[in-house]
């Protein structure tokens, strides 16, 4: 499979801009060290040429930005104020699931968006690179299937990309783009991944072990809300945790009970809507494997109601909000909980 | 100057913890270091720095301030402050040591914050010179010397030994306690290390970051800069940068209703949050751009304006490595027109 390059994406975006099809581009912007890529909005071809990048660190899922970017202001979307042209978004396969899920929930206006699906070869986790190469990275580049790093203390190094792939990419659930207006590079298939292995491992723990596992993980939480703010399923206009009138608003975990509840409540709230994009764990400054909570829900939903993938198509009814006579009886769920206990 | 062989370092930790609580960076299960209370078996981390800064020791993320008990028409006010005991924070890097100075200027200036002051009085800081700074480090831009950290006791870790030098009365007292497990030492090895570190600092990617464009009196120059729009455009509005920051000092005071009364506590606040400084008339920073701008203007302009030119950033690099969208103060400085030294 041939790699898709930054230049190809810039060329495509420039073409659409010059044709007058799109007014701005939602993409990724170069950083200081090669790996610190920032989501960016590009308004001109010059800007694209100067700053746009697509590569192993274009990890951020951009779909959620469409909520704000196509927002209506007095009846007109922001990007429509000056022009009738659309906003261009680049979607990796997993981003396209979030894109569809947001559409299912009527969170942005599809008419104002031009989506280009881009081939994804997996994203690199810089923490994994640092574990091998050490600190003091002067540059990080990709060459074929290798990540090439120049370091201050350990010289130059070539690391197999497969060894430093992000967890969510190691367990990639799909290389298939489920939404796009046009494609750059190849699209793939849904993958029968091992993403539930870790969930199974935790299910097999005794209740005490499981409690200790989550206690240890969640006690690291600093309540920065990054998981929530990056989550494409978290698009409430006013989160209950930010609303002083809700009675549960809090800026810090007041105690260990509260810090656990925040994550559990969030997991429940996105259950059936979470596409398993993995942004929550990627952005967590404390490396809490938050995606495992969501995967547990996905696994349970699959087992109770048949396989369901949020975002696989627009308008699908999530099992938890779609009553059918074949639905599992609450008693069965209860019994199963007992078995796992 | 005193020294101890690294192979005997546990003797040093044990000697300290016999007298008082000792906190030092210990690797967690994810390989990241966090300040942890030392006890037999805990291993001092080799990590450059902790994810969370040590500001927690003096300005905890949440802290009870007082309690009100309501009984009919009587309200009892209970002082929840506990008597503080001496404690040692060990292995604090030069950037974080400077951060204490920045917090001191806020909390110890009249009216002095007694909650902070008590902990500060009882805390003894042992700093540690950096030997392998990261690409995200830029403390030298703020005049900090990572080879010569301040604090009550300065320490240097060489290949085989730990060297310690006291700088304050508190530090001197601590080294006296440790006299039995340490030996007198000369400065040769330490000076050697200092030179090594300075040569590494010059090779760091951010070594040329220049702060001279910023400082007090520059509010008008930067406040209306068009650069803020683009810089803040994709900010998620989470609090990561502010919560891992060793100098962010904003807090909120809240009442928790216990049913029988109120626990009044304070907790860290973040200028990135939509509820930040919300008051009766509403919010004075309604957009993410305004909130984003507040954070960087505070560090680069407002703080130095009120504090003799000292910047509110110490270049520890935590926001560089932790921000979910990799936006940070370095990118802001460069976009606002901060030059790079040749």
Q: With bands split at pLDDT 50, 70 and 90, how would you rate the model's confidence at A242?
A: confident
Q: Does A135 touch chain B (CB under 8 A)?
A: yes
pLDDT of residue A108: 93
Same domain, B173 and B256: no
Query: Domain extents for chain A?
Result: 6-121+172-184, 126-164, 197-340
- pLDDT tens for residues A243-272? 877 777 777 766 666 667 889 999 999 999
Q: Are B45 and B111 in contact, with CB atoms under 8 Å apart?
A: no
β-sheet with A137-143: strand ranges across: A137-143, A146-151, A156-160
Q: With bands split at pLDDT 50, 70 and 90, how would you rate the model's confidence at B277?
A: confident
pLDDT of residue B216: 94
Residues of B in contact with A222 (CB under 8 A): 52, 61, 240, 243-244
pLDDT of residue B341: 45
pLDDT of residue B274: 87
Three-point CA angle A229, A56, A69, nearest 5°: 35
ipTM of the complex: 0.92
Same domain, B41 and B161: yes
The rounded radius of gyration (Å) of the Cα atoms in chain B is: 22
- pLDDT tens for residues A295-316? 999 999 999 999 999 999 999 9
Q: Does A240 touch chain B (CB under 8 A)?
A: no
Give how far the C-alpha of residue A94 lies from the chain's centroid of Cα atoms, to the nearest Å. 7
Q: With bands split at pLDDT 50, 70 and 90, how would you rate the model's confidence at A233?
A: very high
Q: Work out how many domains chain B is built from and give that number.
A: 2
pLDDT of residue A329: 85
Q: With bands split at pLDDT 50, 70 and 90, how would you rate the model's confidence at A6?
A: very high
Give how far the C-alpha of residue B109 lies from the chain's centroid of Cα atoms, to the nearest Å. 18
Average the pLDDT over B202-208 and give the result. 93
- pLDDT tens for residues B224-248? 999 999 999 999 999 999 999 999 9
Same domain, B49 and B176: yes
- pLDDT tens for residues A316-332? 988 888 888 888 888 88
Classify B20 as helix, strand or coil: coil
Q: Does A34 touch chain B (CB under 8 A)?
A: no
Phi, psi of B265 (to 5 degrees): -135, 160
Q: Is residue B250 part of a domain?
A: yes
Which structure tokens are listed for A202? 């935790």
Q: Is residue B211 part of a domain?
A: no
Nearest CA in chain B to A140: B135
pLDDT of residue B284: 85
Q: Looking up tokens 């696994």, which residue turns up? A: A299
- Judged by phi (left if over 0) then psi (alpha if -120 to 50, else beta), residue B274 lies in alpha
Residues of B in contact with A253 (CB under 8 A): 61-62
> How many residues appear in chain B?
342
Core vs surface per residue B310-338: b (16+ CB within 10 A) or e = bbbbbbbbbbbbbbbbbbbbbbbbbebeb
Which structure tokens are listed for B276? 């930040």
- Judged by phi (left if over 0) then psi (alpha if -120 to 50, else beta), residue A187 lies in beta
- pLDDT tens for residues B94-147? 999 999 999 999 999 999 999 999 999 999 999 999 999 999 999 999 999 999
Q: How many residue pairs bridge chain A and chain B with CB atoms within 8 Å of each other?
A: 127
Closest CA to B95 of B139, B37, B155: B139
What gap in Å lies between CA B174 and CA B19, rounded to an integer? 10
Beta-carbon separation of B61 and A222 below 8 A: yes
Same domain, B198 and B225: no
Same domain, B184 and B74: yes
Q: Which DSSP state fits B209?
A: B
Closest CA to A251 of B268, B244, B265: B268
Q: Is residue B232 part of a domain?
A: yes
Q: How far is CA A30 from CA A337, B252, B293, in A?
A: 47, 36, 21
Q: Is residue B328 part of a domain?
A: yes
Classify B327 as helix, strand or coil: coil
Of A40, A41, A137, the CB nearest to B135: A137
Q: Which residues pair with B340 in a beta bridge?
A: B209
Of B29, B238, B267, the CB nearest to A226: B238
pLDDT of residue A71: 76
Classify A306 as helix, strand or coil: coil
Which structure tokens are listed for B220? 């008008």
Q: With bands split at pLDDT 50, 70 and 90, how would you rate the model's confidence at B280?
A: confident
Average pLDDT of chain B? Answer: 94
- pLDDT tens for residues A25-79? 999 999 999 999 999 999 999 999 999 999 999 999 999 999 988 875 554 555 4
Which residue pairs, CB below 8 angstroms and at least 24 apart, start in A326-334?
A: A328/A304, A332/A304, A333/A304
Same domain, B229 and B196: no
Same domain, B45 and B181: yes
Same domain, B147 and B267: no
What gap in Å lies between CA A336 and CA A308, rounded to an integer? 20
- pLDDT tens for residues B157-188? 999 999 999 999 999 999 999 999 999 999 99
Same domain, B131 and B261: no
Dmax (CA) for chain A in angstroms is: 64
What gap in Å lies between CA B161 and CA B145, rounded to an integer? 21
Same domain, B116 and B229: no
pLDDT of residue A36: 96
What gap in Å lies between CA B99 and CA B313, rounded to an integer? 8
Crossing angle (nearest 10°) for helices B94-107 and B114-122: 140
Q: Is residue B213 part of a domain?
A: no
Closest CA to B296 of B311, B285, B316: B311
- pLDDT tens for residues A77-134? 554 445 568 999 999 999 999 999 999 999 999 999 999 999 999 999 999 999 999 9
Same domain, B228 and B184: no
CA distance B135 to chain A (A): 5
Beta-carbon separation of B240 and A226 below 8 A: yes
Same domain, B26 and B150: yes
pLDDT of residue B238: 95
Average pLDDT of chain A? Answer: 90
Phi, psi of A322 (to 5 degrees): -125, 100
Q: Is residue B123 part of a domain?
A: yes
Q: Which DSSP state fits A288?
A: -
**Helix ranges, B271-328 (H):** 288-297, 303-306, 318-322
Q: Are B197 and B130 in contact, with CB atoms under 8 Å apart?
A: yes
Q: Are B123 and B60 in contact, with CB atoms under 8 Å apart?
A: no
Q: Are B14 and B40 in contact, with CB atoms under 8 Å apart?
A: yes
Closest CA to B303 of B109, B106, B157: B106
Of A75-79, A144-148, A202-206, B33-37, minimum mean pLDDT range = A75-79
Which structure tokens are listed for A76? 């007109």
What gap in Å lies between CA B236 and CA B232, rounded to an integer? 9
Average the pLDDT over A128-151 and give the result. 93
Residues of B in contact with A167 (CB under 8 A): none
Structural domain that includes position B144: 2-203
């Amino acid at each position: 499979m041939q790699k898709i390059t930054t230049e190809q994406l810039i060329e495509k975006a420039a073409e659409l801009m010059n044709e007058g099809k799109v007014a701005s581009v939602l993409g990724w912007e170069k950083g200081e060290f090669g790996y610190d890529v920032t989501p960016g909005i590009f308004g001109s071809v010059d800007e694209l040429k100067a700053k746009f990048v697509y590569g192993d660190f274009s990890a951020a899922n951009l779909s959620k930005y469409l909520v704000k970017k196509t927002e209506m202001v007095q009846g007109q979307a922001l990007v429509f104020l000056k022009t009738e042209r659309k906003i261009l978004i680049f979607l990796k396969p997993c981003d396209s699931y979030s894109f569809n899920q947001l559409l299912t929930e009527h969170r942005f206006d599809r008419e104002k968006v031009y989506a280009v699906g881009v081939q994804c070869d997996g994203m690199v986790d810089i923490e994994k690179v640092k574990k091998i190469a050490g600190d003091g990275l002067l540059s990080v580049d990709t060459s074929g299937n290798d990540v090439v790093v120049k370091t201050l203390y350990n010289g130059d190094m070539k690391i197999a990309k497969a060894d430093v792939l992000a967890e969510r990419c190691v367990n990639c659930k799909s290389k298939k783009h489920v939404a796009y207006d046009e494609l750059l590079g190849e699209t793939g298939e849904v993958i029968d991944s091992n993403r539930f292995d870790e969930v199974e491992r935790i299910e097999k723990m005794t209740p005490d072990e499981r409690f200790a596992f989550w206690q240890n993980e969640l006690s690291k939480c600093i309540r920065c809300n990054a998981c929530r703010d990056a989550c494409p399923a978290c698009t409430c206009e006013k989160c209950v945790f930010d609303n002083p009138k809700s009675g549960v608003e809090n800026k810090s975990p007041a105690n260990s009970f509260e810090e656990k509840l925040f994550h559990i409540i969030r997991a429940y709230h996105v259950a059936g809507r979470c596409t398993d994009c993995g942004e929550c764990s990627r952005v967590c400054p404390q490396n809490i494997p938050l995606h495992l909570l969501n995967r547990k829900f996905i696994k349970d939903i699959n087992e109770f109601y048949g396989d369901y993938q949020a975002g696989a198509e627009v308008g699908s009814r999530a099992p938890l909000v779609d009553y059918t006579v074949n639905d599992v009886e609450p008693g069965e769920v209860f019994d199963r909980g007992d078995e796992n206990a | 100057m005193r020294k101890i062989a690294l192979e005997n370092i546990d003797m040093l930790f044990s000697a300290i913890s016999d007298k008082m609580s000792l906190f030092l960076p210990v690797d967690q299960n994810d390989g990241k270091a966090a300040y942890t209370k030392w006890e037999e078996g805990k291993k001092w981390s080799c990590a450059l720095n902790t994810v969370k800064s040590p500001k927690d020791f003096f300005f905890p993320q949440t802290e009870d301030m007082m309690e009100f008990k309501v009984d009919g028409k009587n309200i009892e006010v209970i002082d929840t402050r506990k008597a503080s005991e001496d404690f040692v924070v060990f292995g604090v890097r030069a950037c974080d040591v400077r951060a204490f100075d920045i917090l001191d200027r806020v909390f110890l200036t009249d009216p002095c914050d007694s909650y902070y002051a008590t902990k500060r009085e009882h805390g003894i800081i042992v700093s540690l010179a950096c030997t392998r700074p990261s690409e995200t480090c830029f403390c030298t831009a703020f005049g900090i010397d990572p080879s010569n950290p301040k604090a009550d006791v300065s320490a240097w870790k060489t290949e085989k030994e730990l060297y310690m030098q006291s700088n304050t009365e508190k530090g001197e007292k601590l080294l006296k306690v440790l006299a039995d497990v340490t030996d007198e030492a000369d400065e040769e090895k330490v000076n050697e290390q200092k030179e090594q570190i300075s040569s590494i600092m010059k090779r760091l990617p951010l070594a040329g970051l220049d702060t001279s464009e910023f400082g007090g009196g520059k509010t008008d120059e930067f406040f209306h800069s068009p650069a803020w729009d683009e810089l803040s455009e994709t900010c998620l509005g989470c609090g990561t940068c502010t919560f891992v920051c060793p100098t962010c000092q904003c807090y909120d005071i809240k009442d928790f209703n216990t049913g029988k009364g109120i626990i009044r506590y304070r907790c860290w606040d973040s200028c990135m949050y939509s509820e930040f400084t919300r008051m009766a008339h509403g919010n004075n920073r309604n957009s993410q751009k305004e909130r984003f701008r507040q954070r960087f203007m505070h560090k680069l302009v407002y703080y130095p304006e009120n504090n003799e030119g000292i910047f509110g950033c110490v270049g520890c690099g935590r926001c560089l490595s932790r921000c979910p969208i990799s936006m940070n103060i370095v990118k802001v400085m460069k976009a606002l027109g901060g030059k790079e030294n040749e």
